Structure 1
Amino acid sequence: MLVIALVDRTGSGLWASVSVLYFTYVSGLSVAQVGTLAAVAGAVGIAGAPVGGRIADRLPLTRVLIALQLLRALASFALLTTDNYALLLAFSALGGLADRAAGVLTKLYATRVSGPDRVRYQAVNRTVANAGWALGGLVAAAALALGTTAAYRWLLAGDSLSFVAAAVLTVRCGEPASSSRKVTGSETRAARTEPANPWRDRTYLAYVATETVLFLDDAVFKVGLPLWIADASTAPHGLAPLLMVLNNVMVVGLQVPLARFGATTAAARTLLLPLSVAFAAGGVTMALSATRGPVGATLLLTASAAAFTLAEMLHATVSWELSVALAPDTALGAYLGVHGLAQSAQRSIGPLAVTAAIATGPVGWTVFGAGIAATCLIQHRLVRDRLTRTPLSVPPVTVSEH
């Protein structure tokens, strides 16, 4: 599955950096139309996470994953066939739905395969995925140097083919054991101690709500840092892409070593405390960058990017462990599907949150970081009783993987 993650993310890296340019220069859409296209795809994609998780509790996981990868490939290929706006909306929405569902099912597969080593597995998976993103981005940058319509089309075709390759590779993966499709003995008793329906589980829903806030670091790098550098700091505009590189390099180099600090459920919960400090530090250094000259602003923005990247890595470790530990084994797919809503919702509210911080100025960034830090502490308290009451770890399984 790690090879699949590399192939998948390399293809996504090809497309993510040029999608707006493709729809603008190849499909001939206006800025408003491109924005609407992205919004619709994101809104429809929100449903993908819970729907995919629910299906995975009832059908063989690898088969569903194969179907979703092929659906993603079909949606991407379809974009090449038309410039009709209505069809582009439909194909983008279909791709968004399949993408979010596939993301949840990939996490579910990794959880079932890795068992008690799930945190380290996730760390390795994120490292591989970031390497894939970087590789795809480099290829896209080289292709964009040509500046031709054919180059854009080939990048989209490459993204589509990566999904086909991922589907083929998934065929070779063994089907992991699933408590949700075969419940016996002690598993039945465990299922009775926790609600099988995540939508009726108030603690889990509250946890997902706090997760939505903790995922805001994504919007900082995609929207916040570039706009702040351009509009409110004296740092050179060329710093923005360099900070993205810093983010990627830190994740590739440090995600796996940091994972050992959250190897157990209790340790993962404890990580919420230093995580709150990292978020607060990121907000403060971002605010201070507006009060310094070019050199000082550059140093402070670099420190802020490093702090938010550290927060991203710590949260990835915490989120991976707690999202599984808080869920009953017999409904793990459904629960992880609901957890996937946090990232989907963040894609909508994240840009609004960071632009509000920018509009408010240095105080806004201070409040932004402090607000997320406070949410870390709220989550730390929220999950305490649940984790103390019921051991919900996923048992180890053995499965062939290529």
Structure 2
Amino acid sequence: MLVIALVDRIGSGLWASVSVLYFTYVSELSVAQVGTLAAAAGVVGIAGAPLGGRIADRFPLTRVLLVVQLLRAVASGVLLISHDYTLLVASSAVAGLGDRAASVLTKLYATRVAGPDRIRYQAFHRTIANVGWAIGGLAAAAALTVDTTTAYQWLLAGDALSFVASALLTLRCGEPHAPSRTVTTSKHAVPRTRPANPWRDRTYLAYVSTEAVLFLDDAMFKVGLPLWIAHASNAPHGLAPLLMVLNNVMVVALQIPLARFGTTTAAARNLLIPLSVAFALGGVSMALAATGGAVTATLLLTAAAAAFTTAEMLHATVSWELSVALAPDTAQGAYLGVHGLAQSVQRSFGPLAVTAAIANGPAGWLVFGTLIALTCAVQHRLVRGRLSRTPMSVAPVTVSEH
């Protein structure tokens, strides 16, 4: 599955950095039409996480993932061969649905396979995924030096082929044991109890709502830092892509070492304290960056990027562990699917949150960092009661057959 992550992310790296340019110069869409495509992918994609998780509790996980990868390949293929706007909107929506479903399914696979070593597995997964993004992004940058329609088409084709390759590799993965799919052959088999419903679990839903706030580091790098550099600081505009590189390098170099501080559920929960500090420092650095000259602004923005990247890595470890520890074994897919909504929702309101901070100047960033830090404290307290009633580590999952 780690090889699949690498192949998948290389393809995504090829496409993510040029998608807007492709729709603008190859499909010849207007700005409003491109925005509608992105919105369609985002809105429909919200359903991908809970839908994928629910289905994976009922059917073999590897087969569900195989279908999702092929669905993503078909969606990319339609984007490549057609410029009909209706088809492009539909394909973008399907691609968004598949992307969010695949994210939850790979997480569920790791949870079932890695057992108590899931934090270390997740760290390797994120590191490899970032390497894949970097390779894809560099290849896209090289291809864009040609700046021809054919170059854009080959990048999209590469994205589609990465999904096909991922599907073929999935066929070679063993099916992990799942307690939600216990096989019974005895005439006197005990009926399975109704699985827990995450939509009726108030504690888990409250936890997911705090997660949507803690995922705001994503919007920071995609929207916050570039706009703040361009409109409110004296730093050179060329700093924005360099800070993205810094983010990528830090994750590749430090995600695995940092993961060792969250190898148990209790340790992961305690990481919420330094996580709150990282977000607060990021907000302060962003605010101060607007008050100095070019050199000072550059240093402070670099410090902010480092702080938010640290927050990203810490939160990845915390989120991975707590989202699983708070979920019943017999409904892991459904629960992780609901947890996946946090990232989907953040993709929708995240840009609005960071632009609101920008609109309010330095004070806006101080409030931004403070509110996220307080959310860390809220989550720390929220999960305490639930975790005190559950084991602080999870044993490998097995299936009994009678």
TM-score, length-scaled by structure 2: 0.96
Deviation at 1:392, TM superposition (A): 7.2
- Determine helix, strand or coil for the equivalent of 1:175: coil
Match of 1:73 in 2: 73
Are the equivalent residues in 2 in contact too, given 1:53–1:336 (CA < 8 A)?
A: yes
Instruction: Report whether the alignment pairs 1:388 with 2:388.
Output: yes
Deviation at 1:396, TM superposition (A): 1.8
What is the RMSD computed on CA atoms of the aligned residues? 1.7
Deviation at 1:195, TM superposition (A): 6.9
Match of 1:152 in 2: 152
Decide which moves more: 74-83 or 317-326.
74-83
- Determine helix, strand or coil for the equivalent of 2:46: helix
**Aligned positions of 1:118-133 closer than 5 A:** 118-133=118-133
Match of 2:223 in 1: 223
Match of 2:62 in 1: 62
- Determine helix, strand or coil for the equivalent of 1:51: helix
In structure 2, how many angstroms separate the alpha carbons of the residues matched to 1:375 and 1:183?
Answer: 42
Are the equivalent residues in 2 in contact too, given 1:328–1:392 (CA < 8 A)?
A: no
Deviation at 1:99, TM superposition (A): 1.0
In structure 1, how many angstroms separate the alpha carbons of the residues matched to 2:290 and 2:99?
Answer: 38
**Aligned positions of 1:259-298 closer than 5 A:** 259-298=259-298
Deviation string 1:70-90 (CA, Å, 9 cap, x unpaired) is 000000001112111111000
Equivalent residue letter for 1:34: V
In structure 2, how many angstroms separate the alpha carbons of the residues matched to 1:26 and 1:54?
Answer: 37
Match of 2:331 in 1: 331
Deviation at 1:391, TM superposition (A): 2.1
- Determine helix, strand or coil for the equivalent of 1:146: coil
Are the equivalent residues in 1 in contact too, given 2:13–2:137 (CA < 8 A)?
A: yes
Equivalent residue letter for 2:298: T
Match of 2:108 in 1: 108
Are the equivalent residues in 2 in contact too, given 1:327–1:392 (CA < 8 A)?
A: no
Deviation at 1:394, TM superposition (A): 3.7
Change (3 A) 1:245 1:398: farther
In structure 2, how many angstroms separate the alpha carbons of the residues matched to 1:365 and 1:179?
Answer: 45
Change (3 A) 1:70 1:222: same
- Determine helix, strand or coil for the equivalent of 1:237: coil
Match of 1:200 in 2: 200
Equivalent residue letter for 1:313: M
Q: Which runs of 5+ in 1 are unaligned?
A: none
Deviation string 1:320-342 (CA, Å, 9 cap, x unpaired) is 00000000000000000000000
- Determine helix, strand or coil for the equivalent of 1:147: coil
Are the equivalent residues in 1 in contact too, given 2:264–2:392 (CA < 8 A)?
A: no
Deviation string 1:150-190 (CA, Å, 9 cap, x unpaired) is 00000000000000000000100000000111189xxxx9x
Deviation at 1:353, TM superposition (A): 0.3
Deviation at 1:352, TM superposition (A): 0.2
In structure 2, how many angstroms separate the alpha carbons of the residues matched to 1:295 and 1:9?
Answer: 34
Equivalent residue letter for 1:89: V
Deviation string 1:249-272 (CA, Å, 9 cap, x unpaired) is 000000000000000000000000
Equivalent residue letter for 2:95: G
**Aligned positions of 1:5-84 closer than 5 A:** 5-84=5-84
Are the equivalent residues in 2 in contact too, given 1:113–1:398 (CA < 8 A)?
A: no
Deviation at 1:398, TM superposition (A): 8.7
Q: What is the total number of aligned residue pairs between the two structures?
A: 394
TM-score, length-scaled by structure 1: 0.96
Instruction: Report whether the alignment pairs 1:169 with 2:169.
Output: yes
- Determine helix, strand or coil for the equivalent of 1:29: coil
In structure 2, how many angstroms separate the alpha carbons of the residues matched to 1:195 and 1:372?
Answer: 33
Deviation string 1:222-262 (CA, Å, 9 cap, x unpaired) is 00000000000000000000000000000000000000000
Are the equivalent residues in 2 in contact too, given 1:73–1:160 (CA < 8 A)?
A: yes
Equivalent residue letter for 1:238: G
Match of 2:308 in 1: 308
Instruction: Report whether the alignment pairs 1:257 with 2:257.
Output: yes
Are the equivalent residues in 2 in contact too, given 1:324–1:393 (CA < 8 A)?
A: no
Are the equivalent residues in 1 in contact too, given 2:17–2:140 (CA < 8 A)?
A: yes
In structure 1, how many angstroms separate the alpha carbons of the residues matched to 2:372 and 2:392?
Answer: 27
In structure 2, how many angstroms separate the alpha carbons of the residues matched to 1:89 and 1:224?
Answer: 27
Match of 1:349 in 2: 349
In structure 2, how many angstroms separate the alpha carbons of the residues matched to 1:99 and 1:384?
Answer: 32
Match of 1:210 in 2: 210
